[in-house]
């Protein structure tokens, strides 16, 4: 059997806090994934690390010949149920507190069972992970951030248009001179 699965249901961390770590280890060698998670100081990373170790134990129990060659083929974090609590607030009102739980699913696979198609796909597209990916894209989207030599002057001209719409000239001069991008030029 080429696939080895482990689940942690009702994990006491929200899925949103674990998903970045799941994305980090997906598609990597098991040793490399555990090494990366080991140096992340986060409770979600600890729980994901425990699930990967459990999947390695399941592979060992089911008779996998080479545990070092296993790859994290699937690392999924789903939303679980929510505990709903009430926090008393002023004047007899109350705010709801949602205690979110999650389900972590990790599947390990032999490299032979995945075939050679994945190697060709990896060569064709290069993905950026880690801090570089966070710096080049906006939160969760695949659109690159507008950070270039053109972006700042466009922003400055846009701000000048907003501030110069006031009626009095003295106000206009004061608002333009306090602009932090062009504080030296008027």
| pLDDT at residue 32 greater than cutoff 70 | yes
Report yes or no: 19 and 102 within 8 Å, Cβ to Cβ. no
CA distance 136 to 184: 30
Q: Report pLDDT for 131.
A: 53
Higher pLDDT, 24 or 142: 24
Residue pLDDT, tens place only, 48-94: 999 999 999 999 999 998 899 999 999 999 999 999 999 999 999 99
Q: Report pLDDT for 59.
A: 94
Report yes or no: 15 and 119 within 8 Å, Cβ to Cβ. no
pLDDT range class, residue 2, cuts 50, 70, 90: confident
Higher pLDDT, 108 or 126: 108
pLDDT range class, residue 150, cuts 50, 70, 90: very low
Q: Report pLDDT for 75.
A: 96
CA distance 122 to 115: 12
Give the global pTM: 0.61
The CATH homologous superfamily to which domain 3-136 belongs is Ribosomal protein L22/L17 (3.90.470.10)
Report yes or no: 31 and 52 within 8 Å, Cβ to Cβ. no
How large is the average pLDDT for residues 113-139? Answer: 54
| pLDDT at residue 143 greater than cutoff 90 | no
What integer best gives the mean pLDDT of the chain? 78
pLDDT range class, residue 173, cuts 50, 70, 90: low
Report yes or no: 82 and 100 within 8 Å, Cβ to Cβ. yes
How large is the average pLDDT for residues 155-167? Answer: 51
Question: CA end-to-end span of the chain, whole Å?
Answer: 72
Domain boundaries, the chain: 3-136, 146-186
Share of the chain above pLDDT 70, in %: 61
CA distance 59 to 65: 9
């Amino acid at each position: 059997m080429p696939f080895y699965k482990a689940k942690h249901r009702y994990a006491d961390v929200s899925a949103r806090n674990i998903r970045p770590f799941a994305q980090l280890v997906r598609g990597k060698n098991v040793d490399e994934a555990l090494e990366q998670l080991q140096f992340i100081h986060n409770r979600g990373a600890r729980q994901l690390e425990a699930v990967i170790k459990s999947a390695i134990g399941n592979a060992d129990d089911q008779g996998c010949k080479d545990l070092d060659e296993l790859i994290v083929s699937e690392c999924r974090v789903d939303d679980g149920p929510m505990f709903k609590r009430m926090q008393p607030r002023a004047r007899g009102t109350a705010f709801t507190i949602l205690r979110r739980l999650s389900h972590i699913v990790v599947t390990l696979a032999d490299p032979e069972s995945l075939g050679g198609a994945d190697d060709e796909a990896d060569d064709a597209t290069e993905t950026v992970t880690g801090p570089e990916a966070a710096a080049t894209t906006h939160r969760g989207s695949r659109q690159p951030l507008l950070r270039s030599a053109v972006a700042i002057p466009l922003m400055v001209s846009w701000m000048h248009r907003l501030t110069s719409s006031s009626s009095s000239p003295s106000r206009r001069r004061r608002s333009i001179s306090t602009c932090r991008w062009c504080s030296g030029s008027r």
